[in-house]
Amino acid sequence: MESSGADRRCGWVPEPGVCLLAATVVALELVGRHLGLAALDGAGRPYALNASASGLLPAVRGHPLLGTGDFSTRDVEVRQLPPAAPGLPVLLLLRDLARPRTRARLFGVTEQELRTLRHLDGGCTATEAARRMGLSPATVRGYIASLHRKLDAGHTAALLRRGRDLGMLGD
């Protein structure tokens, strides 16, 4: 991003870091992936850089792992991005984990069925998903059958596509 002639005439020429940060915020808003972008100030306190982050930050403020790396809470996944250049703040990418649960409830999908759907989306078979969830394969196959019925999907690929379209799975 370059400053315009008007900016230069007024004596304001943005720092390269400010342009990079602004471009990142605009890109996230345009993508519309329900991602929040925040940064850490000099004292390690997070501040929101977009509207999504404003809603998600209260869930992670004061968390002991904030600023030390990636972590997840029940409702928010936090990924720490190193500064793009010296002097720029550490950025935090926040993903809303509660939104898919809310969307699932609208369609009558239970928490366990949503977990099963996420495992299928990650490439697991019913048996692998059962092992990871600590359940029997028959139980997980029952969840899958229920998901097919609730989401009106005839096969696994359609089920996953429907889950994404309805906002239950990530992009």
| Span 75-93, pLDDT tens digits | 888 888 888 777 778 888 8
**How many CB atoms neighbour CB 110 within 10 A?**
14
Is residue 22 domain-shared with residue 88, that is, in the same domain?
A: yes
| 56: in domain | yes
| 66: in domain | yes
- The pLDDT of residue 150 is 95
What range does the domain containing 134 cover? 100-165
- The pLDDT of residue 10 is 44
| 171: in domain | no
- The pLDDT of residue 8 is 46
What is the number of structural domains in the chain? 2
End-to-end CA distance of the chain: 28
| 38: in domain | yes
* pTM given for the model: 0.58
Last residue of a domain, one of 48, 77, 96: 96
- Give tens-digit pLDDT for 20-75: 666 666 655 544 556 788 888 888 889 888 888 888 888 888 888 888 888 888 88
- Distance between CA 94 and CA 54 in Å, rounded? 10
